[in-house]
Amino acid sequence: MQQLQQIEAIEKRLWKAADTLRSNSELASNEYFMPVMGLIFLRHAYSRYLNVKVNIEKTLPSRGGKTRALTKEDFSGRGAIFLNDAAKFDNLVSLSDADDRAEAIINAMESIEKDYTGLQGQLPKQEYRDITNEVLGQLLRTLNPDELKRSKGDIFGRIYEYFLTQFADQGAHDGGEFFTPISLVQMIVNVIEPGHGKVLDPACGSGGMFVQSAHFVETLQKNPGKELTFYGHEKNKTTTRLAKMNLRVHGLEGNIAGGVLTYYDDPHEGLWGNADFVMANPPFNVDEVDADKIRNDRRLPFGLPSVNKHNKVSNGNYLWISYFYSYLNDTGRAGFVMSSQASSAGGGEAKVRQALVETGHVDAMIDIRSNFFYTRTVPCQLWFLNKNKPAAHKDKVLMLDARNVYRKVTRKIYDFSPEQLANLSSIVWLYRGENQRFIELLKNHIENALYHAWHAFSTYGEMGQEYLPIGESIAVLRRIKDEVSPFYRQQNRAQKAHLKEFSNMLETLLADAETFELAVDEADNQWGRRQFTTYQQFNALVEKGGKVEQLSTSSRDFVKQLDLTCKLATRLIDTAEKELNAKAANNWDSKTLNSGKDSLKKQAETIRADVVAELKQLRYFY
């Protein structure tokens, strides 16, 4: 959890720095977009290169004490690309203002394209000529912070996706439509589980469906490069470049056909009827497709939907749905984003829908509220097809209304939290009879609740130092009491009463902390002693009156007590200094109590926030 928060903080800081440079460079977002993504591509390629290089060098043969040089072939199948010196990010960062950074970056891109034919002509190059040498230097240094040099895992892959998100929000390219919100893609992946075979996205945008499919395979402890083969169509050639970069920055390869209009083109030989998985976020409600050109398309097994008087398909939604269905093999699954209008459209669309439903292959539909997209505020649906449904589900469709499930990211953008995604997915598991997965999810939630309960008492920092939030909070409040008591004992009865109230509240807080710690220990012990194989066995812990439910309730009460005690401490300090002229008194230490970030007042506020954050997570997971 802490590592994730650190990564999110780095993402936001890098974006802010890069966007500030853009505003200072007088470039529009659409002009800055590809050059920045290109540099992130280089930085992440270098990270992967270094990680893989160590293991490769251990296996290289040597002769006469000299190890042979690395080659491109050494990196094949290892989720990384070979980089010569010109393309290594550290060399680019080390360039001085006297060097031509644009030329060096172009040379780096050309060296990669030379080694990898799938990227030829795809990486940004001449765009760097439009950015000043100084800004390029700042941008290179911004994308190379020290904490990322020490990091492990696919952090720059995350950063690449985060920058895509932010550029989409700005409408920096193609109106932002190149990007499907990650949480919707993850929901699709969670339902269809693309763990093997051929994966097609005929409206692939920046390739997010492929990347999340690869992440899913990685959770299975398998190599996505060996398990999955990606195929994509994309009409916009710039977006095609972006998709290829996105795949490569994650150590993946794909067969992406650019400049393709799926309505009229079927570019991948032999893929029709042979895809294991189809995933997509197609354009909604397109009404300019020429009916004559597609009338005999084999990818329309249910025929054309409505055609208007201009011989145009009135609405392209069911063209896309038909394409997705027809590309699947006999056991294939599809998951895609669709306009909410499609599920109730009449006329020719209703006839296509009826024919599709009668196949028995419509598996599930999930309603999503508005504001999940960066470029449109309308609600949408996720549709799922499965040509290998069990017989018991042949005439059933799982319908989920998730319109009230969301997390607010910004004032205008919503998404799903990881836990919301897991909970929605668990409904699908139960529908499919995968009860044990649901049990494991419940276990995970309880363990997370107990984890955060204990972390309110004890946790460890990056350097291994122990931190005791509740204990230190009480210790600081006691120090405040010791510091203010000499002054308040010389005040009138009303002021002494305020000190007495704070003292009593502090003693109650101490007693409540001890009681709460015992409750956490008891719940943890009860949880650790039992083996759970059915949902009913959880009831004693999680239902009303159970140990975890008691923890959730008592944690809320404890937070109220802590808040009140901290407010009384603050009142004592502020009243003394603002109304009772305490700063002039010999028995008042304003510096210790109320000056700067290390003051007792500030410490109390900071530690209180830490305790509240942990106990909020306890209630959240409960």
Q: In this predicted model, what pLDDT tens digit does every residue of 355-384 receive, in sequence order?
A: 999 999 999 999 999 988 866 778 999 999
Closest by alpha carbon to 449, among 513, 391, 388, 527? Answer: 527
Per-residue model confidence as pLDDT tens digits over 243-274: 888 888 777 889 999 989 999 999 999 999 99
Pairing of strands 228-234, 289-290: unpaired
pLDDT of residue 550: 85
Q: For residue 226, how many C-alpha atoms fall within 13 Å in the half-sphere facing its CB?
A: 8
Spatial distance between the Cα atoms of 321 and 282, rounded to a whole number of angstroms: 9
Spatial distance between the Cα atoms of 125 and 106, rounded to a whole number of angstroms: 5
Q: Given pLDDT bands bounded at 50, 70 and 90, which one contains residue 66?
A: confident
DSSP-derived letter for residue 307 is B
Q: Does residue 36 or residue 156 have the better pLDDT?
A: 36
Percent of the chain topping pLDDT 70:
88
Homologous superfamily of 2-160 in CATH? Answer: N6 adenine-specific DNA methyltransferase, N-terminal domain (1.20.1260.30)
Q: How many Cβ atoms from other residues are within 10 Å of residue 478's Cβ?
A: 14
Instruction: Kindly tell me if the per-residue pLDDT of 430 is higher than 90.
Output: yes
**C-alpha dihedral over 248, 254, 255, 257, to 10 degrees?**
-50
Average pLDDT over residues 563-581: 95
Spatial distance between the Cα atoms of 3 and 416, rounded to a whole number of angstroms: 20
Q: How many Cβ atoms from other residues are within 10 Å of residue 388's Cβ?
A: 12
pLDDT of residue 253: 84
For the domain with range 449-621, which CATH number is right: 2.40.160, 1.10.357, 3.40.50, 1.20.140? 1.20.140
Q: Given pLDDT bands bounded at 50, 70 and 90, which one contains residue 24?
A: low
Place of tokens 């690449």: 160
Our measurement of the distance from residue 550's CA atom to the centroid of its chain's CA atoms, rounded to an integer in Å, reads: 32
**H/E segment holding residue 214:** helix 208-219
Spatial distance between the Cα atoms of 409 and 374, rounded to a whole number of angstroms: 11
2-160 and 449-621 share one CATH topology? no
Q: Does residue 28 or residue 204 have the better pLDDT?
A: 204
Tokens of 541: 């812990």
Q: What's at 184, amino acid-wise?
A: L
Q: Given pLDDT bands bounded at 50, 70 and 90, which one contains residue 298?
A: very high
pLDDT of residue 595: 87
> HEC states along 250-273?
CCCCEEEEECCCCCCCCCCCCCCC
Residues 6 or more apart whose CB falls under 8 angstroms from that of 240 comprise: 122, 234, 256, 257, 258, 259
pLDDT of residue 303: 94
From residue 161, alpha-carbon distances to 39, 173, 245, 302 in Å are 13, 15, 11, 37
Q: How many Cβ atoms from other residues are within 10 Å of residue 295's Cβ?
A: 13
Contact between 613 and 543 under an 8 Å Cβ cutoff? The reply is no
Per-residue model confidence as pLDDT tens digits over 152-206: 555 555 666 677 667 666 654 444 354 678 889 999 999 999 999 999 999 998 8
> HEC states along 425-490?
HHHHHHHCCCHHHHHHHHHHHHHHHHHHHHHCCCEECCCCCEECHHHHHHHHHHHHHHHHHHHHCC
pLDDT of residue 40: 82
Q: How many Cβ atoms from other residues are within 10 Å of residue 53's Cβ?
A: 17
Q: Given pLDDT bands bounded at 50, 70 and 90, which one contains residue 495?
A: very high
Q: Given pLDDT bands bounded at 50, 70 and 90, which one contains residue 50?
A: confident
Bridge partners (DSSP) listed for residue 277: 199, 333
pTM to 2 decimals? Answer: 0.81
Contact between 120 and 113 under an 8 Å Cβ cutoff? The reply is yes
pLDDT of residue 1: 40
Place of tokens 């069911």: 318
- The helix-helix angle for 237-249 and 208-219 (nearest 10°) equals 20
Average pLDDT over residues 446-469: 90
Spatial distance between the Cα atoms of 340 and 580, rounded to a whole number of angstroms: 64
Tokens of 93: 């960062």
Topology classification of domain 173-416: Rossmann fold (3.40.50)
pLDDT of residue 170: 60
Provide φ and ψ at 131, rounded to 5°.
-115, 135
Spatial distance between the Cα atoms of 225 and 252, rounded to a whole number of angstroms: 6
Tokens of 309: 């008087």
Lowest mean pLDDT among 89-93, 544-548, 578-582: 544-548
pLDDT of residue 375: 64
Domains in the chain: boundaries: 2-160, 173-416, 449-621
> HEC states along 155-167?
HHHHHHHHHHHHH
Q: What's at 99, amino acid-wise?
A: D
Spatial distance between the Cα atoms of 401 and 421, rounded to a whole number of angstroms: 13
Tokens of 32: 């800055």
